[in-house]
Structure 1
Amino acid sequence: MSGPILHHYGTSPFSEKVRVAFGIKQLAWRSVKIPPMMPKPDLTPLTGGYRKTPVMQIGADIFCDTQIILREIERRHPQPTLFPGLSKGLAEGVAYWADHQLFAACVAIAFGIMGEQMPDAFLEDRAQFSGRPIDRTKLKRQSAVMHGPLRAHLGWVEEALNDGRAFLFGEAPSLADLAVYHGVWFVRDRAKSDAVADYVKLNAWADRMKSFGHGTYTEMDGKEALTIARQAQPMAMPGGVAPNALGLSLNDTVSVTPDDTGRDPVVGQLVALDAQSITIRRASEETGEVQVHFPRAGFILVPHKGQ
């Protein structure tokens, strides 16, 4: 069985979430460095156009979005669990809040600090990614506006840690810790903002998260990852297509699109569908047949036009 390949870049905050998960579980993995902006010539054949970072590959199976990446890591490597104690379900809800509301505030703060150093091409790419223009002259103002919401969000985390617990759900890290941490990491460690400096418990917790490291990894080339996909067979998907309001059935041609940013649809044949995940089948000359996996939450699944 092929081990995990993470397609990522070093300054990607969502990639940091997965890298720390590898550290918590002390996994060995392979690292493919991808460009921080489009085009991504060695990644697009694998995903069919999904442009967010990171993407995890296991053989001919491609996992898009950290929700489903971490779910698959947990399935294959259940110990130590990312859902200790009573955190299952609740941790996923906290993670969804952190990935959206908290992270939006973190991005605004970080861009306000780093925006002047960012190349025009990068900001243009992020404007296309977000679906709205980015005005370099307004980044500091937008950062100031979001400073209050960020402080409110992080205040909840500080209060949770005030009772002496080491992590958000007790004495072991959970999915919730990973989701909150990657935003804090982006503001504190990447942007070097002082916005979190006076949160004593939060900073001690962030240091504990950082200490897990990233597991053990080896670098590999994107072309080699394409060869691995081409030589592998997608994993069997039990369960088929669950009843759904759209009336979709096995092998229907569908499109899957993020509902927030990076709204580039991926088209393929429906292989599996349940309450939490979507799997479609695609094929290309570079990869052969692959399966691309998405979470249900945060993605729009519809029949492909022209079907």
Structure 2
Amino acid sequence: MPGDLPVILHHFDESPFSEKIRLVFGLKKIAWTSVLISRIMPRPDLMPLTGGYRRTPVMQIGADIYCDTQCIIRELERCFPTPTLFPGGNEGLALASAMWTDKSFFQNTVNLVFGSLADKVPQSFIEDREKLRGAKFDIAAMTAAIPQMRDQYRAHVGWVETQLADGRSWLGGNEVSLVDINAYMNLWYVRSNLPIADELLAEFPRVRAWEARVRAIGHGARTEMSTAEALEVGRNSSPRTQEAGDPHDANGRKVGDLVDVRPDDYGKIAVRGRIVSLSAHGIAIRRHDDIAGDVVVHFPRAGFLVTPAG
């Protein structure tokens, strides 16, 4: 348990990855603090805490900062183990499901959503996402690809329908798990943005019923805090992460090494710090910021690059 420190989520309500974490809060009945950030940069009160990492969401517990939903979910499961996100002992497969839902399924969903919205997408959002991606955010190409994106979305949703074909309530069986939350994100994103969501699910009755069950989980007990207040919480706290090395690290990294950590796909902004803890699944680095003070920033290993600081 985080003890006396609030569980703070830096997010915006339209963020699909944030919706995953909000559902985890709901499933575990967690009281949490919402810090609403802008959909686009700048985010002057958040960047001192993350060291430049700008993907959404970010979770904060005091001066420990958790980046990426993989990392956030692991910490929430550790702090709030009941009910578990991994009933039936399927933790490995449940965690690995994010490589499907967050990458190929989500990329398909993004193209379908923004291709359908077309000229309704603000130019400021397009420019921000081009900086985030390091590539053109080509709305015209997405619009032209809508027929193919609908085909692929149908295939992804069809896998969910197939998994539910034996009458089970949840993708892993009779208990809700992280697999449900991971997959649901993409349906939520389409439903939140496109009036054709029902049309796209018309042939999938089991998915429609499952979608309603996931939605009913809710978001837990939410209160609000400003970005400035969250920054003050970090500045007035000390990181609680204990040093822990990894004797099996394939590259011989050790506690105290100065490294850069960055995503391997988009938002490739390096965050620099000294290793505090290291494992096959996560890395935490200590850094000092003139505004935020001393913080420890946590990242997953899958989907992230760790390189010696040059």
1:194-213 CA distances to partner (integer Å, 9 max, x unpaired)? 32332111111111111111
**Aligned with 1:35 (options 31, 35, 38):** 38
CA distance in 1, matches of 2:147, 2:297: 39
1:71 partnered with 2:74: yes
Deviation at 1:151, TM superposition (A): 1.3
Q: After TM superposition, list the pairs within 5 Å mapping 1:104-119 onto structure 2.
A: 104-119=107-122
Contact 1:242 1:273 in 2 (8 A): no
3-state SS, counterpart of residue 14 of structure 1: helix
After superposition, the Cα gap between the structure-2 partners of 1:30 and 1:186, relative to the gap in structure 1 and judged at 3 Å, is same
CA distance in 1, matches of 2:169, 2:216: 13
Q: After TM superposition, list the pairs within 5 Å mapping 1:103-182 onto structure 2.
A: 103-182=106-185
1:7-53 CA distances to partner (integer Å, 9 max, x unpaired)? 00010000000001101111100000001111111110010011100
CA distance in 1, matches of 2:49, 2:143: 37
CA distance in 2, matches of 1:171, 1:294: 31
After superposition, the Cα gap between the structure-2 partners of 1:159 and 1:244, relative to the gap in structure 1 and judged at 3 Å, is same
Task: Give TM-score scaled by structure 1 length.
Answer: 0.96
Deviation at 1:87, TM superposition (A): 2.0
Identity %: 46
CA distance in 1, matches of 2:195, 2:182: 19
1:20 partnered with 2:23: yes
Runs of 4+ aligned residues of structure 1 deviating over 3 Å after TM superposition are none
After superposition, the Cα gap between the structure-2 partners of 1:17 and 1:154, relative to the gap in structure 1 and judged at 3 Å, is same
CA distance in 2, matches of 1:106, 1:145: 11
1:151-204 CA distances to partner (integer Å, 9 max, x unpaired)? 111111100011111111012211111110111100123333332332111111
1:223 partnered with 2:225: no
What amino acid is aligned across from residue 204 of structure 2 in structure 1?
A: Y
Gaps of 5+ in 2: none
Task: Give TM-score scaled by structure 2 length.
Answer: 0.95
Contact 1:95 1:175 in 2 (8 A): no
CA distance in 1, matches of 2:279, 2:143: 43
How many residue pairs align between the two structures? 305
Deviation at 1:79, TM superposition (A): 0.4
Q: Quick check: 43-52 or 185-194, which moved more?
A: 185-194
Contact 1:92 1:175 in 2 (8 A): yes
Contact 1:241 1:271 in 2 (8 A): no
User: What is the match of residue 241 of structure 2?
Assistant: 236
Contact 2:235 2:291 in 1 (8 A): yes
Contact 1:254 1:304 in 2 (8 A): yes
Deviation at 1:241, TM superposition (A): 4.1
Gaps of 5+ in 1: none
After superposition, the Cα gap between the structure-2 partners of 1:128 and 1:142, relative to the gap in structure 1 and judged at 3 Å, is farther
Pairwise CA RMSD: 1.3
